[in-house]
């Protein structure tokens, strides 16, 4: 639980160095399942949860700031964080 809370607080801060693995761990803890699309497209889905469509970052593991902001806003609006 403490690790999940740390990931949530870090996402809410919307840092410029938020990594893909951090997001994957957080969304998994919230009940999301990762579905690989074409190329770098990834969809996160879960029963009763809003869908999240993203491009996995490459070659760097650091996510684009706009993507971090969008995910944070979506999860906040859904009452998940």
CATH value at residue 15 = 3.30.920.30
Total domains in the chain come to: 1
The pLDDT averaged over each successive group of 10 residues in the chain (81 residues) is 90 95 96 94 96 94 96 95 91
Collapsing DSSP to helix, strand or coil, 1 comes out as coil
Which of 21, 1, 17, 9 is CA-nearest to residue 72? 9
**Tokens 């491009």, residue?**
55
Residue ranges making up the domain that contains 30: 1-78
- State residue 13's pLDDT score: 95
């Amino acid at each position: 639980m403490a690790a999940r809370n740390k990931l949530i607080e870090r996402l809410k801060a919307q840092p410029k160095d938020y990594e893909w693995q951090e997001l994957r761990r957080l969304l998994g803890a919230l009940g999301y399942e990762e579905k690989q699309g074409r190329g770098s497209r990834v969809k996160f889905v879960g029963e009763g949860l809003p869908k999240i469509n993203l491009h996995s970052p490459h070659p760097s593991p650091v996510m684009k700031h706009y993507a971090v902001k969008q995910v944070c806003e979506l999860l906040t609006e859904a009452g998940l964080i």
